Structure 1
Amino acid sequence: MFHPLRVSEVEPLTDDAVALTLAVPPELREAFRHTPGQHIALRRRTAHGEEIRRTYSICAPAGPEPALRVGIRLVEGGEFSTYALKELAVGDTVEVMEPTGRFVLEPRPGHFAAIVGGSGITPVLSIAATLLIREPTARFCLIRSDRTVASTMFLEEVADLKDRFPDRFQLVTVVSREERQTGLPSGRLDRERLTGLLPALLPVAEVDGWFLCGPLGLVSGAERALRGLGVERARIHQEIFHVDEAPSAVATATPGARAPAHSTLTASLGGRSGTWPVQEGESLLETVLRGRADAPYACKGGVCGTCRAFLVSGEVTMDRNFALEPEETDAGYVLACQSHPATTEVELDFDR
């Protein structure tokens, strides 16, 4: 569900990024209470009536008074990011979806670590800050990669965590496009480099949870490095912020299954069900949206996971999946925006 919220602050972070703070009225505090790592979808309508949605992670610590602060980086040709950086001002109103997402860490004792690239710092900033504030024995190691120092988002906020929790917060910074006089040598954090670097920084096997966030290349390389170092899959959590490479198909139907000539979708959403014919070439999300404008979605790119639904019956194929964990797909969940019918009848449940 979307709610109109007032912009209370627009703070420049870098030449191409801002932090946007949204005021939450008392009657909506419960609706916008978030778990560290969750995101919100922002929506606007253009002068021509076109609806634009974009997903941004909440960077503020989670607490009893929900603080909705997100980091937005300008994307070349990006309609919403251009609007946010060049037009949005204090006092404007933005339509905001309630927090969602499963790239989260409920604060608990332990040793945790994150490997992030660029704007991937945004959800991890909330995760680390909330953990360190609430759990006096917890430790957190942040390994971050950026192009240059000038392009690094949330420099002051991360430095503040280092000052407040010097014994429990470890910070490792790498830049890929400029040389530094101190710290690690410049260059990308790829699988090979991380395989050698991580054991020198912290006891890899003793880390209770790894959080990987950023471009696809960094996240996949970091996951392969961790798996090669013996970290079990259940301790690795990931969220993709950018997908530059060509999509890879992730099939959830029987191998070799072909799309039927005619198929029907039944979907449950908000306690109500509906049945619609699936038109040629459209995703199951597009089918639902023809009958239910309130169907949940944000990116439509298989990245954010907002349109996750349980496959009750039938079979589907997914074009790509960068949002669901293997245990979720094994349990029967699919991304409606990437799913196409592989049987004549398919049933989805958005409420599970």
Structure 2
Amino acid sequence: MFHPLRVHAIERLTDDSVAVTLAVPPELRETFRHAPGQHLNVRYAAGGEEIRRSYSICSPATGETGDPAALRIGIRFVDGGAFSTYALKELAVDDLVEAMPPMGRFVLVPRAGRFAAIVGGSGITPVLSIASTLLEREPDATFCLIRSDRTAGSTMFLDEVADLKDRYPDRFQLVTVLSREEQQAGLPSGRLDRARLDELLPALLPVAEMDGWFLCGPFGLVRAAEGALRGLGVDRTRIHQEIFHVDDVAPARPRPEAPAHSRLTATLDGRSGTWPVQEGESLLETVLRSRSDAPYACKGGVCGTCRAFLVSGEVRMDRNFALEPEETDAGYVLACQSHPATPEVELDFDR
């Protein structure tokens, strides 16, 4: 369910990014309490079409006893991106933005331990919330941030990260790599690819002994970082990832021919319905023909908003960049990427 939130502030971070602060009215503050690392799904109408996008919350989480008076999200311009163009060029203070309550499983509940993140570009956004919340609420925790950006001028949340360094000098470590600009001090410029990470990570940290790794950013960086960590002995359960950009990535497997006549039964908000699946459409599209309130945002297999439990039948997903192996093993699928592989399929969006 979407709720209107008023824009309280808009701060230009770089030439192509902004931080938008949304005021949360008292009656919605419990609804919009978030865990560090979660995101908001927002929408607006443009040219008669509904545009939905997912943006990570960068502000610290308030915890179990506090409700947020405001939420801050980071938005970077994407070439051809309808909402990011609107946010950078038209959105103004006092405008209303419709948002769903926070969601997402790329989170770290504060606890004692040693944690690290590898981020690229706007991937800093959820990790900023994770790191700031952890360091503020857990005195026996440390955090190492390894971030990759094109240039210093394109780096989001420079001041906020510098503040973490000043406030927690003994518990927060920052490593910055610029791919298109030399730094006066620190690491030489260049991309953080697999070979470089294989060499860099063991020199910085006891890689396999860390209590959690958080990877966020473009597809190539996240996959390279995951490969490096696995190669250095990190258990898969300690690696958490969220991918922001998945351009030009082919489906994980060729889509098999669907049954000639398939029917989908879906449960959403306690109500069930059954509909024929039209040729070529995803199961999400099938539901949306009759239930406009079906949850979705990116429709690209990235955000995980359309996660549903497969009650019966079989499906094939084109691609999956949102669900962990434990989730797919437990029976969860992404409705936006799922197509029927049996004549009857049943999904439950409420589980």
TM-score (norm 1): 0.97
Aligned to 1:216: 219
CA distance in 2 between partners of 1:332 and 1:258 (Å)? 22
CA distance in 1 between partners of 2:94 and 2:276 (Å)? 43
Aligned to 1:41: 41
Conservation of the 8 A alpha-carbon contact between 2:43 and 2:51: yes
Aligned to 2:287: 288
SS at match of 2:40: strand
Is the aligned partner of 1:318 residue 2:341?
no
CA distance in 1 between partners of 2:249 and 2:320 (Å)? 12
Pairing of 1:22-37 with structure 2 (within 5 A): 22-37=22-37
SS at match of 2:308: strand
Aligned identity (percent) is 80
Aligned to 2:75: 72
For residue 197 of structure 1, report the CA deviation from its aligned partner.
0.5
CA distance in 1 between partners of 2:178 and 2:162 (Å)? 16
For residue 257 of structure 1, report the CA deviation from its aligned partner.
5.4
Is the aligned partner of 1:51 residue 2:50?
yes
Aligned to 1:201: 204
Q: Deviations over 1:188-212 (max 9, x none)?
A: 1111111110011011121000000
CA distance in 1 between partners of 2:191 and 2:28 (Å)? 42
CA distance in 1 between partners of 2:328 and 2:167 (Å)? 40
For residue 350 of structure 1, report the CA deviation from its aligned partner.
0.5
Conservation of the 8 A alpha-carbon contact between 2:121 and 2:156: yes
Conservation of the 8 A alpha-carbon contact between 1:297 and 1:307: yes
Pairing of 1:237-256 with structure 2 (within 5 A): 237-249=240-252
Aligned to 1:153: 156
CA distance in 2 between partners of 1:246 and 1:54 (Å)? 20
Aligned to 2:15: 15
For residue 333 of structure 1, report the CA deviation from its aligned partner.
0.5
Conservation of the 8 A alpha-carbon contact between 1:249 and 1:319: yes
For residue 250 of structure 1, report the CA deviation from its aligned partner.
5.2
Structure 2 regions of 5+ residues with no counterpart? none
Pairing of 1:220-239 with structure 2 (within 5 A): 220-239=223-242
CA distance in 1 between partners of 2:32 and 2:23 (Å)? 10
CA RMSD of aligned residues (A): 1.0
Q: Give the stretch that moved more between structures: 167-176 or 238-247.
A: 238-247
SS at match of 2:326: helix
Q: Give the stretch that moved more between structures: 120-129 or 238-247.
A: 238-247
Name the amino acid aligned to 1:246: V
Conservation of the 8 A alpha-carbon contact between 1:309 and 1:351: yes
SS at match of 2:11: strand
Is the aligned partner of 1:328 residue 2:330?
no
Q: 2:86 aligns with which of 83, 86, 90?
A: 83
Aligned to 1:266: 265
Conservation of the 8 A alpha-carbon contact between 2:32 and 2:67: no
Q: Deviations over 1:153-192 (max 9, x none)?
A: 0000000000000000000000001111211010111111
Aligned to 2:96: 93
Q: Deviations over 1:93-130 (max 9, x none)?
A: 01111110000000111000000000000000000000
For residue 291 of structure 1, report the CA deviation from its aligned partner.
1.2
Q: 1:129 aligns with which of 132, 140, 156?
A: 132
Conservation of the 8 A alpha-carbon contact between 2:208 and 2:235: no
Structure 1 regions of 5+ residues with no counterpart? none
Q: Deviations over 1:269-293 (max 9, x none)?
A: 1111110100111000000111111
Q: Deviations over 1:238-279 (max 9, x none)?
A: 00000123223258xxxx953101100000111111101001
Q: Deviations over 1:127-154 (max 9, x none)?
A: 0000000001100000000000000000
SS at match of 2:257: coil
CA distance in 2 between partners of 1:74 and 1:196 (Å)? 32
C-alpha distance 237-250 of structure 1, shift in aligned 2 (>3 A)? farther
Conservation of the 8 A alpha-carbon contact between 1:264 and 1:276: yes
Following TM superposition, where does structure 1 have runs of at least 4 consecutive aligned residues deviating by more than 6 angstroms? none
SS at match of 2:83: helix
Aligned to 1:338: 337
CA distance in 1 between partners of 2:234 and 2:50 (Å)? 42
SS at match of 2:112: coil
CA distance in 1 between partners of 2:130 and 2:341 (Å)? 39
CA distance in 2 between partners of 1:188 and 1:245 (Å)? 19
TM-score (norm 2): 0.97
Conservation of the 8 A alpha-carbon contact between 1:250 and 1:321: no
